[in-house]
Amino acid sequence: MLFLTEMAPDLWTATQLLRFLGLEVGCRMTVVRLPNRELVLISPLPLKHGDRARLDALGTVKHLIAPNRFHHLYFGNAQALYPQAQAWGVQGLAQKRPDLRFDGTLNEPGSFADVLHYLPVEGFGSIMLQGVQLAHETVFWHQPSQTLILTDIAFNFDETFPFTSRLAAQVLGSYQTLRPTRLEKWGSFDKDAVEQSIRQVLQWEFDLVIPGHGSIIENDAKTQLREGFEWFLGRSLAPGQPLTIAGNS
């Protein structure tokens, strides 16, 4: 059964257990209600017919979002439950999952992200974070609650996770801290593009960060994200600091 936690007005999360490479990492869906009472489901969980009443009580499920190339495992369940909802994925996901229907691609002309940026959808924005090759991810910002919604570009595993998961997080650099893992650090070569994108994200005002895996950050989240990407980049992202150019970092 779907259990929704209200994080702020018009913003809910739901989590479930998920094992990856033998480790418990959990998985989280975020539900955003727009001013017109349309619901946006980011990274849908495996929804069943019994879950529909809870979501329908909040509003009308209008948009289903697969925010990166990995969070698509349960997309078909959500589409079966809400066949009229618009389905959005990132570039390359339609080719990876030809069995799924996608109505548009995030951050392409005429896409859902354009609607968020340029049409009067109040208080909800997005940006495709460039340069993080393993993620190819869209980051979302819910302005009314000052919340940033991530998927796989940063994690925060803490003492609530099993010992083996905590140990792996320590090795990968994402234990009790909000930042990418060393896998993303090693696999991302265009650090200038990452810096430019994360600086745009840091221009948003947010106090809360909801990651797709790990614990939610409810205090000083913006500072933690900035410090996490300073570790990732090996550069300062302090406000007012000019954009670093390769070779001058």
pLDDT digits (tens, 9 = 90+) for 67-124: 888 888 889 999 999 999 999 988 888 888 999 898 888 766 555 554 444 333 455 5
Q: Quote the radius of gyration of the chain (alpha carbons, Å).
A: 17
Comparing 17 with 172, the larger pLDDT belongs to 172
Cα separation values, 47 from 3, 43, 227, Å: 11, 11, 35
pLDDT of residue 157: 83
Residue 110 CA neighbour count, 13 Å, CB half: 2
Least confident of 44-53, 124-133, 235-244: 124-133
CATH 3.40.366.10 fits 5-109+120-233, yes or no: no
Q: For residue range 180-197, what is the model confidence (pLDDT) as tens digits? A: 888 777 767 788 888 888
SS3 content of the chain, % helix, strand, coil (to 5): 25, 25, 50
pTM of the entire predicted model: 0.86
Q: For residue range 198-223, what is the model confidence (pLDDT) as tens digits? A: 888 898 999 999 999 889 999 889 99
Least confident of 131-135, 149-153, 177-181: 131-135
